[in-house]
């Protein structure tokens, strides 16, 4: 059985990628299971989708623990443990990153035993690229498994994206086929991973749960603002920067309007943005009467910073 | 009749419930009227208006709201009592699960009544059994005295830090709720001393202690943990109950058991049931014993947690047990039967179980039916196999239904529809 | 122009009370309103919440609140508020809670609960004279489940369950008028974008006792389909076009706190949101646009007569 996972952020076409690949497998004669997985988080937050495909009916369900392929739409997610991109990555797992950073750099950085490939699709924050990300990733994944014919991919896109109309469907097909062709030399590099063995397995470490009393064992939180431990700044793909030379220090406008309350005011009356938590909505930049808040792509900002 | 504690007085089940709430010095009663419960809140309201009870009673607009307010007040730090019945309990069902999850220690008296449709005012146990899996503990009463005693004990049980779960005390509509019988009213000081002051623990709202309550969880792991902890707390209530019962006995001289066993020691056969008709079963046991039968009664008062070990101990070695369900899980059968069967299955000396469905919608359970059920038990023991479940329903009753059906025009309507 | 300091009701906080790191969408109008109002109410509050987007503010073990929070159920927030308020009053009266430990009780719900499932509980809480503040973040649909139409959805809006050529065929329920008919202590409409108006109303609400409503328009980038940075602009346009009148009910009278003069055409508001795109493309639905404009005109004609 093939077990494949797509990772990205809400709004990057992850669910679409899963469905296109699922349908392509199905058209190629496989039994298929595909599903997206959302948490409580919303647009911009990490999500994933998964696809199983086999030549027999599939009984396995739920999230994929040992993926054969992990395809990532947004390389900023790789190093976020909560995003779970690298969860269960085994020696046979192929990692495909949509990234402008070269594959060698990633290999050096991550030190993973398996094959690591990149797909240079341009910066994710470019709206044009994002629109086709799902189909592009599906095309790339289809080539890497090596058992999906071109026609199955083309038909799957037509089926899954029919609601977008003919011209957008065609554009998606073009992008997906470009990725499909680009990875020709790696066709079939994804292999079906080992099946669970009842003869040799790691037993679960079951425990006897003890009663611990309601004060401890109720879903109640006894400290203030513990949410500040959650780095929602990782959602950000663009960064607002305060230009102090233009800022009129009215401060209350951006600080009050920031939905997440991430803008405080320093002793001199300048706004200070908490990048640990700023989600990059840009309400501040759009609302600044002095136009003193610039917007730069997060990668560029990170390099500058 | 003006009743004042302490002493022996004629009280209905509803009055006994109200008296227990008063003796427990409850702070807060969110309420909503429904037959046959309404007397409870009317009685409490009258005491409050007369200045005899220092308590706030608020009539809400529904039982859903009533239980929401009850749970919210309990986790804010006051002692809460409330009561409902039948459709009301079902309307509140979402909140029963919710407030149990908050670990809100409140006491709710349910006055059992059959569920619509067809709508009826008379009792059976489908309402309270619908709340079986909510996290509320359940004590089922057979007498008005038990209603009073159980409510007092329920506050101790709910508020015990090892338990801290809400409790339903169940009594049958009409047969207890509106029925007067002698009830021993405890001395108010002794009752207050027994129940003790309300200790909210750390789950309460105040300015100096931030608290986010009833929050969401992500993932099956934390969810399993919190839910199973509720289950463990409910199970812990078994031993806590025994402690409380011992203290209750020392204070008041009565010891309501988790499971009542009547004339069981040398018995070959037993009746197994809950609720007020169990006193009829006891009368039947006495008659049968006079006729030479070795038969007794087992009556669980605690249904959640279910005292399974105690039930196994009591029933081991019996030849056959008649499980009388005043409820019906449609498409399966009696709920008590299924639960007792699962408690006994695979254990040495487990008796044959024979399932009887009776008492639906307040239907009577006359002595002759107990005698006849005993006969079925003996035959089953002789055969070594239990017969299929039996609805307690007579030819006379069927004739009566046919007569009513004729008036309703059902046959005529069918004839008209026929080609 | 900004040299003149705005007349803010109290010194501006240099940081905000509501914790950062919540899982709300980037640019969330509901979160914006909540964080603005929380600064004014202060930490001595207990929020009683009903099912909606903001339910996920507190996900174990993370909470953004510094005071109290209780999640109830979709229909039950006002009833939960009743229980908390009554219990606090009992505790203070009995001397078991020092007055300085007392809390303001705030029901916090979306429009689904406020206009629909929880309206019976709300009506009854007002009737009982419950001393509480009801804060509704109105994003005009069941946002948490993907923006299906609710009783607060405006005429012609496309939602996940009103995708036809004319959008939602119903009309937005007038919750403010329903509250006013109950003769509460206070009721006001606000918009997060209109901070000063909101701040004044929140202060007013805080100074009164009894049932009080703050009904906040909560522009929703995800559900209304606009770029998150436009959250403030959309809110301002709702006010400037007269679609969202800013008003308050106090002492038996309804007073409009901001009369837009001149009023912008409703199109200026509608055309910025994907949920109304079908009114302009592929063909302009003149009849629907006229109907919406006429309704707004009629409203203001009544106000100004």
The pLDDT tens digits for C36-72 are 999 999 999 999 999 999 999 999 999 999 999 999 9
DSSP SS3 for C241: coil
Range with the lowest mean pLDDT among A115-119, A247-251, C146-150?
A247-251
For the stretch B43-79, pLDDT in tens is 999 999 999 999 999 999 999 999 999 999 999 999 9
Token pair 């998606």 in the structure block, residue: A172
Provide the pLDDT for residue C12.
64
pLDDT above 90 as % of chain C: 93
Supply C70's token pair.
Answer: 């209780």
Domain annotation covers residue C4: no
- Asked if the Cβ–Cβ distance from C62 to A232 is below 8 Å, we say no
The number of folded domains in chain C is 1
Touching C: which chains, 3+ CB pairs < 8 A?
Answer: A, B
B245 and B96, same structural domain?
yes
| B233 Cβ under 8 Å from any chain A Cβ | yes
Domain annotation covers residue B136: yes
Of B61, B66, B211, the CB nearest to C68: B211
Q: Which long-range contacts (CB under 8 A, 24 or more apart) does A24-28 make?
A: A24/A138, A24/A142, A24/A148, A24/A152, A24/A153, A24/A155, A24/A156, A25/A51, A25/A53, A25/A148, A25/A152, A26/A156, A27/A151, A27/A152, A27/A155, A27/A156, A28/A147, A28/A148, A28/A149, A28/A152
For the stretch B147-198, pLDDT in tens is 999 999 999 999 999 999 999 999 999 999 999 999 999 999 999 999 999 9
Closest B-chain CA to A39? B218
In chain B, which residues have their Cβ closer than 8 Å to the Cβ of A223?
Answer: 210
Burial class for B290, CB neighbours closer than 10 Å (0-12, 13-18, 19+): exposed
Domain annotation covers residue B231: yes
DSSP SS3 for C163: coil
Closest A-chain CA to B231? A211
pLDDT higher than 50, residue A125: no
Q: Are C90 and B27 in contact (CB under 8 A)?
A: yes
Provide the pLDDT for residue C96.
96
Q: How far is C230 from chain B (nearest CA, A)?
A: 30
CATH number of residue B278's parent domain: 3.40.50.920
Provide the pLDDT for residue C5.
46
Q: Are A21 and A142 in contact (CB under 8 A)?
A: yes
B268 and B230, same structural domain?
no
Provide the pLDDT for residue A39.
65
Closest B-chain CA to C77? B68
Query: What are residue B5's phi and psi, to 5 degrees?
Result: -80, 155
The C residues from 231 to 270 touching A (CB cutoff 8 Å) are 231-233
B81 and B141, same structural domain?
yes
Please state, in angstroms and rounded to a whole number, the distance separating the CA atoms of residues B308 and B336: 12
Provide the pLDDT for residue A124.
42
- Asked if the Cβ–Cβ distance from B28 to C72 is below 8 Å, we say no
Using the 8-state DSSP alphabet, how is residue C117 labeled? Answer: I
Domain annotation covers residue C21: no
Supply C39's token pair.
Answer: 């600064």
- Asked if the Cβ–Cβ distance from C69 to B211 is below 8 Å, we say yes
Mean pLDDT of B88-102: 98
| B226 Cβ under 8 Å from any chain A Cβ | yes
Domain annotation covers residue C22: no
SS3 of chain B: the string is CCCCCCEEEEECHHHHHHHHHHHCCCCEEEECCCCCCHHHHHHHHHHHHCCCCCCEEEECCCHHHHHHHHHHHHCCCCCEEEEECHHHHHHCHHHHHHHHHCCCCCEEEEEECCCCCCCCCCCCCHHHHHCCCCCCEEEECCCHHHHHHHHHHHHHHHHCCCCCCCEEEEEECCCCCCCCEEEEECCHHHHHHHHCCCCCCCCCCECCECEEECCECCCHHHHHHHHHHHHHHHHHHHHHHHHHHHHHHHHHCCCCCCEEEECCCCCCEEEECCCCCHHHHHHHHHHHHHCCCCEEEEEECEEECCCHHHHHHHHCCCCEEEEEECCCECCCECHHHHHHHHHHCCCCCCCEEEEEECCHHHCCCCHHHHHHHHHHHHHHHHHCCCCCCEECCCHHHHHHHHHHHHHHCHHHHHHHHCC
Of A230, A250, A283, the CB nearest to C27: A283
Closest C-chain CA to B198? C96
Domain annotation covers residue C17: no
Which band of pLDDT confidence, cut at 50, 70 and 90, is reported for residue C138? very high
Provide the pLDDT for residue C3.
40
Using alpha carbons, list the distances in angstroms from residue B376 to B281, B286, B289, B322: 15, 18, 16, 9
| C131 Cβ under 8 Å from any chain A Cβ | no
pLDDT higher than 70, residue A303: no
Q: How far is C236 from chain A (nearest CA, A)?
A: 11
Burial class for C148, CB neighbours closer than 10 Å (0-12, 13-18, 19+): middle
- Asked if the Cβ–Cβ distance from A257 to C232 is below 8 Å, we say yes
pLDDT higher than 50, residue C2: no
Please state, in angstroms and rounded to a whole number, the distance separating the CA atoms of residues A112 and C270: 51
DSSP SS3 for C238: helix
pLDDT higher than 90, residue A14: yes
The number of residues in chain C equals 305
B242 and B287, same structural domain?
no
CA nearest A44: which of A294, A202, A300, A280? A280
Q: What is the ipTM of this complex?
A: 0.95
CA nearest B390: which of B366, B364, B372, B402? B372
Provide the pLDDT for residue A99.
87
Sign of CA dihedral C201, C202, C204, C208: positive
CA nearest C86: which of C46, C125, C130? C130
pLDDT higher than 50, residue C1: no
Q: Are B258 and B241 in contact (CB under 8 A)?
A: yes
Supply A146's token pair.
Answer: 């090596």
- Asked if the Cβ–Cβ distance from C32 to A257 is below 8 Å, we say yes
- Asked if the Cβ–Cβ distance from A209 to B202 is below 8 Å, we say no
Q: Are A252 and A207 in contact (CB under 8 A)?
A: no
For the stretch C214-255, pLDDT in tens is 999 999 999 999 999 999 999 999 999 999 999 999 999 999
Whether the ω angle into residue A301 lies within 30 degrees of 0, i.e. cis, is no
B339 and B228, same structural domain?
no
| C60 Cβ under 8 Å from any chain B Cβ | yes
B238 and B95, same structural domain?
yes
B299 and B238, same structural domain?
no
B57 and B29, same structural domain?
yes
Domain annotation covers residue C265: yes
Q: How far is C48 from chain A (nearest CA, A)?
A: 14
CATH number of residue B199's parent domain: 3.40.50.970
Mean pLDDT of B254-283: 97
Q: Which of C25, C66, C221 to mutate to test the interface with A (most CBs of A within 10 A)?
A: C25
Please state, in angstroms and rounded to a whole number, the distance separating the CA atoms of residues B278 and B365: 10
Domain annotation covers residue B359: yes
In chain A, which residues have their Cβ closer than 8 Å to the Cβ of B203?
Answer: 214-215, 218, 220
For the stretch B330-373, pLDDT in tens is 999 999 999 999 999 999 999 999 999 999 999 999 999 999 99
Q: Residue B283: how many CB atoms within 10 A of its CB?
A: 11
| C2 Cβ under 8 Å from any chain A Cβ | yes
Please state, in angstroms and rounded to a whole number, the distance separating the CA atoms of residues C137 and C226: 18
Domain annotation covers residue C186: yes
Query: What is the span of the domain harbouring residue C266?
Result: 29-304
User: Edge-to-edge, what's the strand order for the sheet holding C132-138?
Assistant: B211-213, C68-71, C45-49, C104-110, C132-138, C211-217, C186-191, C246-250, C253-258
Of C76, C91, C128, the CB nearest to B95: C76
As a whole number, the mean pLDDT across chain A is: 91
Q: How far is A73 from chain C (nearest CA, A)?
A: 19
B228 and B171, same structural domain?
yes
Using the 8-state DSSP alphabet, how is residue C96 labeled? Answer: S
Of A221, A251, A256, the CB nearest to C63: A221
Please state, in angstroms and rounded to a whole number, the distance separating the CA atoms of residues A260 and C145: 21
CA nearest B310: which of B257, B233, B266, B269? B257
B189 and B124, same structural domain?
yes
Of B28, B69, B206, the CB nearest to C79: B69
**∠ CA A28-A29-A34 to the nearest 5 degrees?**
85
Provide the pLDDT for residue A80.
78
Using alpha carbons, list the distances in angstroms from residue A12 to A74, A136, B242: 8, 11, 59
In chain B, which residues have their Cβ closer than 8 Å to the Cβ of C120?
Answer: 61-62, 65
Question: Strand pairing partners for B353?
Answer: B321
Provide the pLDDT for residue C4.
43
Could you tell me how far CA B50 lies from the centroid of its own chain? 31
- Asked if the Cβ–Cβ distance from B27 to C87 is below 8 Å, we say yes
Domain annotation covers residue B43: yes
B320 and B248, same structural domain?
no
Domain annotation covers residue B88: yes
- Asked if the Cβ–Cβ distance from B65 to C82 is below 8 Å, we say yes
Q: Domains, chain A, ranges and CATH?
A: 2-186 (3.40.920.10), 230-304 (3.30.70.20)
- Asked if the Cβ–Cβ distance from B27 to C69 is below 8 Å, we say no
Which band of pLDDT confidence, cut at 50, 70 and 90, is reported for residue A128? low
Domain annotation covers residue B408: no
| C84 Cβ under 8 Å from any chain B Cβ | yes
Range with the lowest mean pLDDT among A182-186, A295-299, B71-75, B96-100?
A295-299
Domain annotation covers residue B209: no
More confident position, A41 or B200: B200
Please state, in angstroms and rounded to a whole number, the distance separating the CA atoms of residues C33 and C22: 14
- Asked if the Cβ–Cβ distance from C16 to A264 is below 8 Å, we say yes
Mean pLDDT of A51-75: 94
DSSP SS3 for C223: helix
Query: What is the span of the domain harbouring residue B232?
Result: 7-203+214-252
Provide the pLDDT for residue A285.
97
CATH number of residue C275's parent domain: 3.40.50.970
Of A209, A214, A223, the CB nearest to B210: A223
Q: Residue A210: how many CB atoms within 10 A of its CB?
A: 9
Domain annotation covers residue B413: no
Domain annotation covers residue C59: yes
- Asked if the Cβ–Cβ distance from C61 to A226 is below 8 Å, we say yes
* Chain B residues within 8 Å of chain C (Cβ atoms): 27-28, 30, 56, 58, 60-62, 64-66, 68-78, 80, 94-95, 98, 102, 205-208, 210-218, 222
Domain annotation covers residue C5: no
pLDDT higher than 90, residue A127: no
- Asked if the Cβ–Cβ distance from C46 to B27 is below 8 Å, we say no
In chain B, which residues have their Cβ closer than 8 Å to the Cβ of A218?
Answer: 101-103, 203, 213, 226, 229
DSSP SS3 for C15: coil
pLDDT higher than 60, residue A41: no
The number of folded domains in chain B is 2
Question: Strand pairing partners for A97?
Answer: A72, A118
For the stretch C4-28, pLDDT in tens is 444 444 556 778 999 999 999 999 9
The C residues from 102 to 131 touching B (CB cutoff 8 Å) are 102-103, 120-121, 123-124, 128
DSSP H or E run through C179: helix C175-181
Question: Strand pairing partners for B109?
Answer: B83, B169
Using the 8-state DSSP alphabet, how is residue C12 labeled? Answer: P
- Asked if the Cβ–Cβ distance from C70 to B222 is below 8 Å, we say no
Please state, in angstroms and rounded to a whole number, the distance separating the CA atoms of residues B72 and B205: 10
């Amino acid at each position: 059985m093939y077990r494949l996972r797509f990772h990205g952020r809400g709004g990057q076409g992850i669910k679409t990628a899963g469905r296109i690949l699922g349908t392509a497998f199905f058209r190629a004669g496989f039994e298929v299971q595909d599903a997206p997985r959302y948490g409580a988080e919303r647009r911009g937050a990490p999500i994933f989708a998964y696809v199983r495909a086999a030549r027999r009916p599939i009984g396995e369900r739920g999230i994929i623990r040992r993926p054969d392929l992990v395809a990532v739409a947004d390389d900023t997610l790789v190093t976020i443990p909560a995003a779970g991109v690298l969860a269960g990555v085994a020696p046979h797992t192929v990692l495909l990153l949509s990234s402008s950073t070269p594959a060698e750099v990633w290999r050096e950085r991550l030190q993973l035993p398996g094959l690591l490939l990149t797909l240079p699709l341009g910066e994710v924050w470019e709206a044009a690229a994002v629109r086709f990300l799902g189909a592009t990733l599906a095309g790339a994944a289809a080539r890497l498994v090596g058992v999906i014919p071109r026609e199955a991919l083309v038909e799957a896109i037509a089926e899954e994206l029919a609601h977008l109309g003919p011209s957008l469907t065609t554009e998606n097909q073009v992008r997906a086929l470009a990725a499909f062709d680009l990875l020709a030399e790696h066709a079939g590099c994804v292999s079906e991973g080992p099946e669970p063995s009842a003869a040799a397995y790691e037993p679960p470490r079951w425990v006897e749960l003890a009663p611990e009393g309601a004060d401890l064992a109720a879903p109640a939180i006894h400290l203030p603002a513990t949410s500040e431990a959650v780095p929602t700044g990782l959602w950000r793909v663009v960064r607002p920067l305060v230009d102090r030379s233009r800022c009129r220090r009215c401060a209350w406008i951006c600080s009050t309007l920031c939905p997440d309350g991430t803008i405080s005011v320093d002793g001199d009356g300048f706004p200070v943005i908490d990048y640990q938590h700023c989600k990059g909505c840009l309400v501040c930049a759009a609302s600044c009467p002095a136009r003193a808040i610039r917007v730069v792509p997060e990668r560029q900002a990170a390099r500058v910073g | 009749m003006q009743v004042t504690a302490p002493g022996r007085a004629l009280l209905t089940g509803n009055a006994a419930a109200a008296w227990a709430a008063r003796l427990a010095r409850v702070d807060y009663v969110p309420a909503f009227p429904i037959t046959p419960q309404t007397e409870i809140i009317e009685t409490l309201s009258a005491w409050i208006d007369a200045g005899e009870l220092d308590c706030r009673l608020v009539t809400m607009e529904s039982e859903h709201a009533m239980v929401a307010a009850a749970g919210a007040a309990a986790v804010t730090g006051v002692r809460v009592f409330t009561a409902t019945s039948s459709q009301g309990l079902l309307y509140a069902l979402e909140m029963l699960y919710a407030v149990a999850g908050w670990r809100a220690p409140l006491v709710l008296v349910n006055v059992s009544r059959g569920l619509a449709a067809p709508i009826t005012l008379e009792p059976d146990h489908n309402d309270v059994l619908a709340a079986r899996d909510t996290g509320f503990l359940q004590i089922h009463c057979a007498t008005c005295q038990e209603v009073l005693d159980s409510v007092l004990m329920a506050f101790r049980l709910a508020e015990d830090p090892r338990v801290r779960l809400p409790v339903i005390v169940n009594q049958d509509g009409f047969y207890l709720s509106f029925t007067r019988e002698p009830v021993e009213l405890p001395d108010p000081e002794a009752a207050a001393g027994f129940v003790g002051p309300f200790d909210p623990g750390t789950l309460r709202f105040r300015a100096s202690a931030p608290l986010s309550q009833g929050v969401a969880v992500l993932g099956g792991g934390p969810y399993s943990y919190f839910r199973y902890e509720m289950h463990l707390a409910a199970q812990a209530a078994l031993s806590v109950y025994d402690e409380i019962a011992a203290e209750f006995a020392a204070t008041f001289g009565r010891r309501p058991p988790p499971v009542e066993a009547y004339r069981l020691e040398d018995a070959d056969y037993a009746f197994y049931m809950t609720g007020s008709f169990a006193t009829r079963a006891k009368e039947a046991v006495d008659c049968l014993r006079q006729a030479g039968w070795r038969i007794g009664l087992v009556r669980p008062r605690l249904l959640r947690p279910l005292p399974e070990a105690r039930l196994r101990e009591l029933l081991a070695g019996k030849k056959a047990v008649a499980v009388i369900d005043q409820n019906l899980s449609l498409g399966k059968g009696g709920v008590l039967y299924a639960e007792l069967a699962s408690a006994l299955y695979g254990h040495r000396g487990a008796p044959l179980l024979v399932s009887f469905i009776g008492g639906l919608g307040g239907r009577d359970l006359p002595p002759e039916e107990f005698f006849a059920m005993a006969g079925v038990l003996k035959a089953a023991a002789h055969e070594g196999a239990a017969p299929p479940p039996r609805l307690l329903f007579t030819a006379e009753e069927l004739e009566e239904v046919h007569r009513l059906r004729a008036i309703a025009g059902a046959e005529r309507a069918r004839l008209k529809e026929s080609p | 122009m900004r040299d003149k300091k705005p007349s803010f009701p109290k010194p501006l906080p240099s940081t905000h009370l509501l914790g950062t790191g919540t899982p709300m969408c980037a640019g969330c109008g509901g979160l914006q309103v909540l964080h603005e109002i929380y600064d004014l109410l202060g930490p001595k509050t207990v929020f009683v919440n009903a099912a909606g987007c903001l339910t996920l503010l507190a996900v174990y073990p993370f909470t953004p609140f510094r005071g109290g929070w209780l999640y109830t159920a979709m229909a039950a927030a006002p009833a939960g508020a009743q229980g908390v308020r009554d219990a606090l009053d009992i505790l203070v009266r009995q001397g078991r809670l020092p007055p300085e430990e007392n809390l303001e009780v705030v029901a916090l719900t979306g429009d689904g609960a406020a206009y629909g499932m929880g309206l019976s509980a709300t009506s009854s809480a007002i009737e009982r004279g419950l001393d509480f503040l009801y804060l509704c973040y109105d994003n005009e649909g069941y946002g948490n489940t993907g923006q299906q139409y609710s009783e607060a959805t405006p005429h012609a809006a496309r939602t996940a369950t009103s995708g036809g050529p004319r959008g939602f065929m119903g009309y937005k329920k007038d919750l403010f008028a329903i509250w006013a008919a109950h003769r509460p202590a206070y009721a006001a409409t606000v918009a997060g974008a209109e901070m000063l108006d909101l701040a004044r109303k929140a202060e007013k609400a805080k100074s009164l006792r009894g049932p009080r409503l703050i009904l906040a328009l909560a522009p929703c980038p995800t559900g209304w389909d606009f770029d998150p940075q436009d959250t403030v602009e959309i809110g301002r346009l709702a006010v400037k076009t007269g679609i969202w009148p800013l008003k308050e009910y106090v002492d038996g009278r309804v007073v409009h706190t901001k009369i837009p003069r001149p009023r912008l055409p409703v199109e200026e508001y509608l055309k910025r949101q994907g949920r109304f795109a079908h009114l302009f493309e592929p063909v302009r639905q003149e009849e629907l646009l006229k109907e919406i404009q006429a309704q707004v005109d009629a409203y203001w004609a009544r106000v100004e007569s």
